[in-house]
Amino acid sequence: MQRLRSYLFILQMYVMMLVYGLAYLPYALLSKDGARACCKAYSRYVFWTMRWMVGIRAEVRGEVPEGEVLIAAKHQSFLDIMMIFTALPSAKFIMKRDILWTPIIGFYAKRLDCVPVERGKRGAAIGKMVRDVEAGLVDPGQLIIYSQGTRVAPGVKVPYKVGTAVLYEQLGQACVPVATNVGVFWPRKGMWRKPGLAVVEFMPSIAPGMERDAFLAHLEETVEARSDALMREGGFDPDGLR
């Protein structure tokens, strides 16, 4: 029965993505606020349906930042994207350029000033983004980077990429680490959805000015330790796969 519920949930989720995307299109074309409103309304719809259809509840913990800040997040599935975006007042992502060609998502990503990155060229993209920020071409807000560069399944060890440290250094902004356990309930691949409490947690910010290697080591230790604790809270032992 849970498998059938999962299939039905995913089917209606993508149908409604099209519905929301088209319904908000005129507003999104006129204003970035419209694009942001669409993405938040759709995400809240998904949170509502996943609660009663597959038994997943969403909870955001910690102090959510409101000013200009770098967000360095753990990435396990599409769910943490929606939870982080909905929690923040003015979020934009550093993301793979391929996503720009995804129907609906690609258009809204462009409208929200998300930063596309080609594989192997993250350094160039970061440099351009910093220049755009300094020139006032990018609206202020919360810039989200996934420090491991991809979705990572619970219990799998993937090193943190230096791009986060370079961005932290060049922007001169505080960095807020974000931990999660959403992959326990909404995996990076497949259609199975498991009931439980999916958590995204904003942690105390790291002040600007740390040396690059020290920052990256501290970020990885902080996010991984807290994510492991959240996964154990959700009934998954991350050490079992290491």
Q: What is the pLDDT of residue 134?
A: 57
Q: How far apart are CA 154 and CA 75, in angstroms?
A: 10
Locate 166 and state its tokens: 């370079």
Prediction pTM value: 0.92
Residue segments in the chain with a per-residue pLDDT below the cut of 70: 119-126, 128-138, 241-242
Give the pLDDT confidence score for residue 239 in this predicted structure: 82
Write down the CATH superfamily of domain 57-241.
Glycerol-3-phosphate (1)-acyltransferase (3.40.1130.10)
pLDDT given for residue 24 in this prediction: 97
Q: Are the C-beta atoms of 156 and 241 separated by less than 8 Å? A: yes
**pLDDT score, position 96:** 83
DSSP reduced 3-state for 77: coil
Which residues, other chains included, contact 41 with Cβ-Cβ below 8 Å and sequence gap of 6+?
20, 24
Do 211 and 188 contact (CB within 8 A), yes or no?
A: no
Neighbour tally for 45: CB within 10 Å? 17
Write down the pLDDT at residue 12: 98
Q: Hey, is 149 helix, strand or coil?
A: coil
> How much is the pLDDT for 203?
98
- Full DSSP string of 194-231: --EEEEEEE-PPBPTT--HHHHHHHHHHHHHHHHHHHH
pLDDT at 175: 97
The radius of gyration computed from the CA coordinates of the chain, to the nearest angstrom, equals 18
Q: Convert the pLDDT of each residue in 108-117 to its tens digit.
A: 999 998 888 7
Cβ distance 57 to 197 under 8 Å?
yes
What tokens appear for 83 in the block?
Answer: 């939870």
